[in-house]
Amino acid sequence: MQIIGHERVRNFLSSITADNFPHTLLITGPAGVGKTTVALAAAAALIGCDATRAETHPNIIRVTAGEDPKTHTPRAAIPVAAIRELRSLFHIHHSEPRIILIERAEELQQESSNALLKVMEEPNTQIYFMILARSDEAVLQTIKSRAAHIQLSNVPTGILRAGLAARGFSSAEIDRAAAIAGGRPGVALRYLENAEFRERVITESTRFNDLFRAKTLGAAEKILSDLFGKKERHIEVRKELVEMLEWWMMWLSEKNPTHPAIAQIAKTIPLLSENMHPRLLVERIVIELQS
């Protein structure tokens, strides 16, 4: 679980002790840039375990939206019950640090965020919080004010390539992964190691190029016809759309960095987590592409 890039953060991790570690650490940055890798490395340093054990270490409590136990489908948001359950940790004496890792804090709704704030106010010197989010705007101001903040940026291409080469990938593989990753090591590794993800990227690249060349809105709508999937997969579809639109924004920036659709994509991505119809949101982008 070696961190690729982020030298400043790696220097910080090398100096971590229980005495100087912040009670709450907020880590922000684009999807795939390395937030979880950095958080687990920090947790491993704090606990004093090997980084390879951090994924499953019992002292690291990972909180995500998870699945609905009745439908076995992904939840759209982190339930407030999952946050309130954390309070039980504060009623036990811990001889070793415990780290509560909130992944994708943008999936916290208002009630869950308020519950998290109350949990953070519980006194316990052995419990630490790490909160991961795409942007600090996704986190309550009252939580941000209590946190040390690490903002991760995209890794320069040369450093990303060197990191991938150190893991044994060929030059041809690295060329393809670096082209899609946009400086995000997690995306590059997922592309190289996950055949299903790699196929999705290729499919979306073809779709985007077809959309960019489409002459009419009707032609563009035909290209989008299979994009939204079945109704029962609406939560997965929204998450996949966020990822897809990030690729679109990167590819469009390469073609025309001043294209008006770039701003529309940037506006649309946060709206996909709200109760707005995804097809209508994407169609607005397509209209901009046609302009």
Residues of the domain holding 265: 207-290
Same domain, 223 and 140: no
Same domain, 16 and 129: yes
What whole-number distance in Å separates Cα of residue 171 and Cα of residue 177?
10
Last residue of one domain, picked from the residues 105, 129, 151: 151
DSSP state string for the chain: -PPPS-HHHHHHHHT--TTTS-SEEEEE-STTSSHHHHHHHHHHHHHT--GGGGGG-TTEEEE---B-TTT-SB-SSB-HHHHHGGGGGGGS--SS-EEEEE--GGGB-HHHHHHHHHHHTS--TTEEEEEEES-GGGS-HHHHTTSEEEE--PPPHHHHHHHHHHTT--HHHHHHHHHHHTT-HHHHHHHHH-HHHHHHHHHHHHHHHHHHH--SHHHHHHHTTTSS--GGGHHHHHHHHHHHHHHHHHHHHHH-TT-HHHHHHHHHHHHTTSSS-HHHHHHHHHHHHH-
Write out the chain's pLDDT in tens, 291 residues: 689 999 988 888 888 777 788 899 999 998 899 999 999 999 998 888 888 888 889 999 999 888 777 776 777 788 898 999 888 888 777 888 899 999 988 888 889 999 999 988 887 788 899 999 988 888 889 999 999 999 999 999 999 999 999 999 999 999 999 988 889 999 999 999 999 999 988 888 888 888 888 878 888 888 887 776 555 455 667 778 888 888 888 888 888 899 999 999 988 888 877 767 888 888 889 888 877
DSSP state string for 206-239: HHHHHHHH--SHHHHHHHTTTSS--GGGHHHHHH
Tally of structural domains, the chain: 2
Domain membership of residue 190 (yes or no) is no
Domain membership of residue 172 (yes or no) is no
Q: What is the pLDDT of residue 185?
A: 94
Q: What is the pLDDT of residue 258?
A: 92
Same domain, 112 and 211: no
CATH number at residue 17: 3.40.50.300
Strand order of the β-sheet with 24-28 is 60-63, 98-102, 127-133, 24-28, 148-151
Same domain, 45 and 145: yes
By C-alpha distance, which of 97, 98, 250, 126 is closest to 179?
Answer: 250
Domain membership of residue 178 (yes or no) is no
Domain membership of residue 191 (yes or no) is no
Same domain, 92 and 227: no
Same domain, 147 and 213: no
Same domain, 221 and 144: no
Domain membership of residue 21 (yes or no) is yes
| 5 torsion bin: left (phi>0), alpha (psi -120 to 50), beta (else) | left
Domain membership of residue 171 (yes or no) is no
Same domain, 146 and 47: yes
Same domain, 12 and 146: yes
Same domain, 147 and 13: yes
Domain membership of residue 126 (yes or no) is yes
Last residue of one domain, picked from the residues 151, 184, 215: 151
The reported pTM is 0.84
Domain membership of residue 244 (yes or no) is yes
